Amino acid sequence: MTGLDRDRPADSDGKTAHARFLKRACDRLGYDAQEYQILLSPSREIRIELPLRRDDGSLCVFTGYRVQHHNARGPYKGGLRFHPDTDIDDVRALACLMSLKTALLNVPFGGAKGGIDCDPARLSDREMESLTRRLTSKLHRNVGPFTDIPAPDVGTNAQIMAWISDEYSKVYGYTPAAVTGKPLDMGGSLGREDATGRGVALVLRAWARHRAETLEGRTAVIQGLGNVGIHAARCLHDLGIKIVAVGDSRSAVFAEDGLPVDALIAHKNETGGLAGFGAGATVDPAAMLETECDYLVPAALGGVIHAGNAPHIRARTIVEAANAPTTWDADAVLNAAGVTILPDILANAGGVVVSYFEWVQNLQQFPWSLEDVHTRLTERLETAVDDVMALAAGQEVSLREAAYVIAARRLKDALWTSGP
Ligand code: NAD
């Protein structure tokens, strides 16, 4: 167990935050204990030993995982995470979240997640390529365009998806639909790279419209300046929101009047970090989460908003760009304090929606324009926001509970129709 539910470690029956959220939704839907268990439990868990010859000639062994949660609504679908904290508990929880996310967005996929317990910052490009190809060569019988479709997540990117695609195609011939988030010249989709961050802004905009809330001039704090955080920062800034603080794993910067987003991203891309950035004051990355703002956007790892810091959060709204950033206990504290949470399975779903578009384009061998991608992404996310807000208002529950109820019902309906 790593960061997913720090203040309440896994119970004897292995529950974590997502399991409790799912249980609460199942109770509301009147599902019994067996039905809940079937929705929660993964279909298959794969563990792979991955020996790697390092550049210095030494040999080390990493562990790879792929958890396939449910595929009643379509092929398993989910990211690959390369991070030293990756373990089976995190991957299992993240796979379940993927099933719920694809159900909520009504894309024809199930849920999966995978990863390797490695630190990409300590591996050379050759070592990363070798490890990725080794993972693919050991996993290829269990993945594929109608079986299980990996995508990028923490520590992985389009280049890694390209190596997976190439390795897979050596066995099965040209099969671009076997993996999404690929580079454009290998069958990737326009608009995939920034889709998750763009989706964060689109979901916030749709939610704000329902409440007649103006975004212009509001303030946001963003934790994590990787793929999701960078594009979320840019898109939120384009909506007129002032980004007053951003941080990554090593440092954070704050400016009351708003940070110059383009310069900040350029600095991060050039130097790999935020240290030495000319504008704003340096602040403690952990304390940054407690900065007063309208929108707090965790876009890094799970479990960062926990019972310890939840009472000190001074945001009015949390937009969960990361997966599972809020623990069960923190969720209760924040709900009681009147903080609105746009939950992960809604707020960060832009990535899997455009992955779906990429898969469709690959199967049809017919690329779409960027305008088509953006229009369809906006439609899907706005429909999901409408669904969640209608149920939340009708049943007087939080947005997270509403999202889980919709997703759990769709997942159960598909599972029961196909025969549990
Ligand atoms: P990434 O590897 O590109 O970036 C991660 C960022 O988090 C980096 O800037 C890193 O410095 C920062 N970080 C790591 N530890 C931190 C810490 N302790 N404090 C502050 N910052 C820290 O990963 P990503 O693809 O941007 O994913 C970020 C989150 O979004 C993850 O939770 C992931 O599961 C979720 N997500 C990603 C996608 C996607 O399409 N990539 C889709 C949906 C959800």
State mean pLDDT over 251-270. 95
State mean pLDDT over 354-382. 98
State mean pLDDT over 47-57. 97
Specify whether the CB–CB gap between 93 and 130 falls below 8 A.
Answer: no
Catalytic residue among 23, 101, 113, 412: 113
Ligand 1: centre distance to CA 393 (Å): 31
Q: For the chain, what percent of residues have pLDDT higher than 70? A: 96
Distance CA 107, CA 337 (A): 34
For the cut 90, the answer to whether the pLDDT of residue 420 exceeds it is: no
Phi and psi angles of residue 82, each rounded to the nearest 5 degrees, phi first: -105, 100
Query: Residue 381 class from Cβ within 10 Å (0-12 exposed, 13-18 middle, 19+ buried)?
Result: buried
Distance CA 49, CA 63 (A): 5
Distance CA 16, CA 365 (A): 41
State mean pLDDT over 351-359. 98
* Amino acid 15: pLDDT: 53
Ligand 1: centre distance to CA 81 (Å): 10
Q: For the chain, what percent of residues have pLDDT higher than 90? A: 93
For residue 221, the number of C-alpha atoms closer than 13 Å in the C-beta half-sphere is 27
Output the residue whose Cα is nearest ligand 1's atom 33: 322
State mean pLDDT over 256-268. 95
Provide the pLDDT confidence category of residue 256 given band limits of 50, 70 and 90.
very high
* Amino acid 419: pLDDT: 83
Mean model confidence pLDDT for the chain: 95
Provide the pLDDT confidence category of residue 85 given band limits of 50, 70 and 90.
very high
Q: Tokens in use for 115?
A: 């990863």
Q: Say what the pTM is.
A: 0.96
- Residue to probe by mutation, ligand 1, list 99, 104, 109, 228, most atoms within 8 Å of CB: 228
For residue 88, the number of C-alpha atoms closer than 13 Å in the C-beta half-sphere is 8
Q: Give catalytic status of residue 113 as yes or no.
A: yes
- Residue to probe by mutation, ligand 1, list 196, 250, 377, most atoms within 8 Å of CB: 196
For the cut 70, the answer to whether the pLDDT of residue 12 exceeds it is: no
Instruction: Annotate 241-261 with b (16+ C-beta within 10 A) or e (fewer).
Output: bbbbbbbbeebbbbbeebbbb
Atom of ligand 1 nearest to the CA of 81: 34
